[in-house]
């Protein structure tokens, strides 16, 4: 009986190894995906929610198996928003950049769409209540 269980376990290990090898070969042969997704988050005093937003983007990137670029444009927050972004800059799956930014009239608008066909740009103005719904795994 133990011998039979050993053979079954050996079969599972060999099958898993073959799946991983074939997947690795397929990934090397497949053309590179587009530049991915670039999220631009405009914040002002969002310290209470910022950790959740960045962790949600990190989970999304890991589940999708792709790298997600995140640029946080901080509109001179007076709370811990900047500290939280600095703390989470090494999250796996996201390339995180923090910039100070001052919104002034119409020049503060950034559009969504595709940049040069390489990466998809998603602008999320967190100063507007319903905009956070654009972030995966975030319900407003």
Whether 139 is covered by a domain: the verdict is no
Do 72 and 122 sit in the same domain of this protein?
Answer: yes
> How do residues 34-88 score in pLDDT, each as one tens digit?
568 899 999 998 888 899 999 999 998 888 878 889 999 998 889 998 999 999 8
3-state secondary structure of 67: coil
User: How high does pLDDT run on average in the chain?
Assistant: 83
Domain count, the chain: 2
Whether 115 is covered by a domain: the verdict is yes
CA distance 56 to 62: 10
Give the residues across from 114 on adjacent strands.
120
Q: Which residue range is the domain that position 114 belongs to?
A: 36-134
CA distance 10 to 18: 12
CA distance 112 to 39: 9
pTM equals: 0.67
End-to-end distance of the chain based on CA atoms, in angstroms?
55
Q: Is 52 exposed, middle or buried (0-12, 13-18, 19+ CB in 10 A)?
A: middle
Do 91 and 72 sit in the same domain of this protein?
Answer: yes
CA distance 56 to 54: 5
pLDDT attached to residue 20: 83
Do 86 and 109 sit in the same domain of this protein?
Answer: yes
Residue 3 in this model has a pLDDT that exceeds 70: yes
Whether 140 is covered by a domain: the verdict is no
Residue 105 in this model has a pLDDT that exceeds 70: no
């Amino acid at each position: 009986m133990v011998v039979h269980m050993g053979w079954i376990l050996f079969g599972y290990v060999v099958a898993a190894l073959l799946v991983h090898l074939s997947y690795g070969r397929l990934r090397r042969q497949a053309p590179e995906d587009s530049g991915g997704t670039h999220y631009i988050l405009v914040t002002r005093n969002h310290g209470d929610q910022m950790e959740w937003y960045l962790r949600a983007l990190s989970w999304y990137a890991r589940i999708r198996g792709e790298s997600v670029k995140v640029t946080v444009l901080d509109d001179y927050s007076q709370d811990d928003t900047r500290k939280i972004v600095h703390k989470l800059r090494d999250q796996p799956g996201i390339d995180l950049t923090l910039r100070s930014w001052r919104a002034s009239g119409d020049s503060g608008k950034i559009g969504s769409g595709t940049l040069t066909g390489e990466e998809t740009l998603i602008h999320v103005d967190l100063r507007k209540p319903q905009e956070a719904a654009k972030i995966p795994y975030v319900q407003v």
